[in-house]
Amino acid sequence: MGFTLEMARAIAGVSLNKGTRVIDPACGAGAFLLSGLDKGIGSPATIFGIDIDAKVRDEWELNGLAEDLGRNLYIQNGLYDPDDNRVSEKLPLRQFDLVVGNPPYGGFGVREVEKDKRLFNSLRTYELWRLGTRANDDQDSLFAVDVLERLRRLTPKEVERLERFPVEVLFLERFVRLAKAGGVIAIVIPDGILANVKFDYVRGWVAERCHVVAVVSLPRGTFRGTGTTAKTSILFLRKKGAKARGPKHVFMAQLDEGKDGGPPDKEEFDFVLKNFREKFKGYASGSPIIWTSTTTDDLWDNRWDADYWDPTFVEPVKLLKKRFGKIIPLKETDPFITYGAIITGRKPKLKDSGVFYIHIENFMPTGLDISLGNFISEKSDWNKDRARVKKGDVVIVRAGEGSLGKSEVYYLDFPATVGCFVDIFRQDVINPFFLALFLKSKYGQVQFRRLKSGVTGLTNVNFYEIKSIYVPLIPSKDIERIERAYKKILRKNDMIIRKKWSLAKKYYREGKNRLSADKMANEDAIIAKELGSLRSVFQDLLRKFELFLEGENKSFIP
Ligand SMILES: C[S@@+](CC[C@H](N)C(=O)[O-])C[C@H]1O[C@@H](n2cnc3c(N)ncnc32)[C@H](O)[C@@H]1O
């Protein structure tokens, strides 16, 4: 608590003092407010707390808050203003210097909105829950009902949406609204809001109104005492205004769990605070748990959770940028991306030849593998036009804990189609042989790990995420060499795989079942030896490729 207020003080500069107007609109026992009083950030006349639960009154009595702030504590819903002259006149709402708190999360927003007239009236003026509506969802109401009418009542669809809307997003909007221009907002928020693509619009809305100053990731054990282990962070914002200039860099930090998996130790908080005070102006990067993301611009259209900006993930990309000067996210290649057909309740009928049906198990380091039963017929429902692979497409595994991110350039002569866990990535800006090798290298793989990091814990990636992967643009003479060397391996792989496949077919004809026929072919001494030595040739190529990416070798030397 003290940490959060000290961070807020560092952000606001010296101006946080006894005159500071502070509010926590879901204050519970009031730990943040007590800490404010303790630190001289606000005073009994300027600190306000709201909580919906009447039971917290007892805690206010016990911890002395009732005595200190008595008249400024309200039992009511924190999503609307207290009906009290003191707040609305002497201390106009939406004019707070500091809005701080750990509002509720996890549950749905507000049940039975329509029964609570004040809540209903208040939420009508909120914006975020409307923005999240899927395009066209509300077309009818948007055009059929005139604007005033629309403000007066909500359509049943809107009420339903509000009731299912995450309460933490309503509170985030509430916090932003309560702050004055230049005011500081410190809010504990589930990482999902910071990391999930589906909350992009929430982050966009916040970033239009506030400068993002810092994100401090809290370990799961932080609120263990209250029975929750959700992954959360403290988001520090400064509301935009005439004088409030935003920082160029965003401060990101991860706090480690304390003893026995509990809240972080005091030293941990102090360490982050000290670094923040020192680096808030200087923006050096460095220590393992603290760093700054590149620039505020990086956060546009991107994740805000500190895990994503962990140096382990950011540094390799920075290194490539430094080395090659030009590095682009895959979206700039304007790609066509698709995955295979998903037909619920049915499975494709698998055959031993026909159209190669590419799925997760087919990806090997040296190229694509083929087993019996990896084919479907030309006319199969799974052989959809859009899912058909062309030679030169890059295919990427989009799912699976151990397999996500496996990639290959398609260089076989069979007609082929991707299954539902494999994406086709087709574009003509980047050489596909280079791209596939890059994705297989540690510089590609670290970026898949980055996508999987943090609370999203993705075991699958969507198109948007694949398009966020950065690839350097390298000289064409190196591209040519890479293509040549890599093609050699793919051709050789193709030869061995075909041999293995014929052998498996032979065993199958002789009466073995598919599984054992494949196994026997795989264990064939010559085939196993050839595949083994091809694997070391590939490892060697990959190592040279990485040395080249790192700048250890100026050009790519096969
Ligand atoms: C995580 S706790 C906050 C703990 C607090 N920082 C403390 O020091 O105890 C969230 C609080 O939000 C309150 N709450 C939940 N929904 C609310 C609402 N709509 N308006 C106001 N308070 C609400 C809960 O009663 C709970 O006390």
User: Is 435:473 a contact under the CB 8 Å cutoff?
Assistant: no
User: Domain 1-101 belongs to what topology?
Assistant: Rossmann fold (3.40.50)
With a 6 A CB cut-off, is 354 part of the ligand 1 pocket? no
Residues with Cβ within 8 Å of residue 495, at least 6 apart in sequence: none
Residue closest to 185 by CA, chosen among 205, 215, 165:
215
Would the pLDDT of 541 be above 90? yes
Give CA–CA dist 416/395, Å, rounded. Answer: 11
Q: Judge if the beta carbon of residue 30 lies within 6 A of ligand 1.
A: yes
Cα–Cα distance, 293 to 309 (Å, whole number): 6
d(CA 52, CA 48): 14
Q: CA of 101: how far to CAs of 26, 274, 296, 553, in Å?
A: 7, 22, 24, 52
- The closest residue, in CA terms, to atom 2 on ligand 1 is 28
Q: Are 111 and 163 in contact (CB under 8 A)?
A: yes
**Pairing mode, strands 388-389 and 367-368:** unpaired
* Cα(104) to centroid(ligand 1), Å: 6
Give yes or no for a contact between 141 and 158, defined as CB atoms under 8 angstroms apart.
yes
Angle at 309 between CA 303 and CA 314, to 5 degrees: 120
The finding on whether 78 has its CB within 6 A of some atom of ligand 1 is: yes
Give the pLDDT confidence of 61-110 residue by residue, as tens digits.
999 999 999 889 999 999 998 887 776 666 667 789 999 999 999 766 67
pLDDT at 18 over 80: yes
Q: Which amino acid is at 303?
A: R
Percent of the chain with pLDDT over 90: 65
Q: Tell me: the pLDDT tens digits for 360-415?
A: 999 999 999 999 999 999 999 999 999 999 999 999 999 988 899 999 999 998 89
pLDDT value at 293 more than 70: no
Burial class (CB in 10 A: 0-12, 13-18, 19+), 148: exposed
Using most ligand atoms within 8 A of CB, pick from 23, 32, 51 the residue to mutate for ligand 1.
Answer: 51
Atom of ligand 1 nearest to the CA of 29: 9
Give the mean model confidence (pLDDT) for residues 9-17: 83
One-letter-per-residue 3-state SS of 189-250? EEHHHHHCHHHHHHHHHHHHHEEEEEEEEECHHHHHHHCCCCCEEEEEEEECCCCCCCCCCC
Q: Is the Cβ–Cβ distance between 535 and 366 less than 8 Å? A: yes
pLDDT band (50, 70, 90) for residue 461: confident
Beta strand 394-397 pairing with 422-426: antiparallel
Asked if residues 114 and 198 have their Cβ atoms less than 8 Å apart, the reply is no
Q: Residue 194's pLDDT is what?
A: 95
d(CA 468, CA 197): 12
Centre of ligand 1 to C-alpha 101, Å, is 8
**Distance separating alpha carbons of residues 362 and 371, to the nearest angstrom:** 8
Task: Please give, one letter per residue, the 3-state secondary structure of 383-397.
Answer: CCHHHEECCCCEEEE
* φ and ψ at residue 459, rounded to 5 degrees: -110, 10
Residue 206 pLDDT > 90, yes or no?
yes
Q: Is 409 exposed, middle or buried (0-12, 13-18, 19+ CB in 10 A)?
A: buried
What integer is the mean pLDDT of 449-454? Answer: 86
Mutate to test the pocket of ligand 1, among 22, 27, 173 (most ligand atoms within 8 A of CB): 27
Q: How far is the CA of 103 from the centre of ligand 1 (A)?
A: 5
Q: Which atom of ligand 1 is nearest to the CA of 223?
A: 1
Structure pTM?
0.85
Residue-wise pLDDT tens digits, 464-484: 899 999 999 999 999 999 999
Q: What pLDDT score was predicted for residue 123? A: 87
User: What's the Cα-to-Cα distance from 241 to each of 210, 222, 265, 446, 454, rounded to whole Å?
Assistant: 9, 33, 36, 39, 32
Measured distance CA(488)–CA(15) in Å, rounded: 67
Nearest CA to ligand 1 atom 15: 104
DSSP class per residue in 416-475: EEE-TTEEEEE-SSS-HHHHHHHHHSHHHHHHHHHHH-GGG--SB--HHHHTT-EEE---
% of the chain at pLDDT higher than 70: 89
| DSSP structure class, residue 479 | H
pLDDT class of 164 with cuts at 50, 70, 90: confident
Ligand 1 proximity of 315 Cβ (cutoff 6 Å): no
pLDDT mean over 145-163: 68
Say if residue 142's pLDDT is above 50. no
The domains of the chain are located at: 1-101, 329-550
Which residues have C-beta within 8 Å of that of residue 80, sequence separation ≥ 6? Answer: 118, 119, 121, 122
Mean pLDDT of 293-316: 80
**Which residues are CB-contacts of 528 (< 8 A; sequence separation ≥ 6)?**
522
| Whole-number Cα distances in Å, 74 to 37, 84, 230, 424 | 18, 10, 27, 56
Task: Name the pairing type of β-strands 210-218 and 232-239.
Answer: antiparallel
| Minimum-distance ligand 1 atom for the alpha carbon of 228 | 1
Quote the Cα angle for 339-340-345, to 5°: 130
Degrees (nearest 5) of the Cα angle 76, 23, 209?
Answer: 110
**79 CB near ligand 1 (under 6 Å):** yes
Task: Read off the pLDDT of residues 490-537 as tens digits, 9 standing for 90 and up.
Answer: 999 999 999 999 999 999 999 999 999 999 999 999 999 999 999 999
Residue 457, pLDDT score: 63
Q: Which strand (E) or helix (H) includes residue 329?
A: strand 327-329
Cα(409)–Cα(489) distance, integer angstroms: 12
* 255-286 residue pLDDT tens: 988 888 889 999 999 999 998 888 765 333 33
pLDDT for res 90: 62
H-helix or E-strand containing 317? helix 311-324
* Closest C-alpha residue for ligand 1 atom 12: 26
Closest CA to 81 of 119, 44, 113: 119
Other C-beta atoms closer than 10 Å to the C-beta of 72 total 23
Instruction: Grade residue 310 by pLDDT with cuts at 50, 70 and 90.
Output: confident
> Out of 124-133, 329-338, 402-411, which region has the weakest mean confidence (pLDDT)?
124-133
Question: Which of 5-9, 13-17, 292-296, 297-301 shows the highest mean pLDDT?
Answer: 5-9
Taking CA atoms only, the protein residue closest to ligand 1 atom 4 is: 28
Matching residue, tokens 């929750």: 228
What is the band of 456 on the pLDDT scale with cuts at 50, 70, 90?
A: low
In terms of Cα–Cα distance, which of 232, 233, 171 is closest to 206? 171
* pLDDT for res 295: 55
Q: Does the beta carbon of 51 lie inside 6 Å of ligand 1?
A: yes
Query: Mean of the pLDDT values across residues 175-187?
Result: 95
Kindly state the tokens that stand for 454: 């943090």
The pLDDT score that the predictor gives to residue 154 is 76
CB-based contact 439:406 (threshold 8 Å): no
Q: For 329-550, give the CATH class.
A: alpha beta
Q: How many CB atoms lie within 10 A of CB 7?
A: 26
Which ligand 1 atom sits closest to the C-alpha of 110?
A: 19
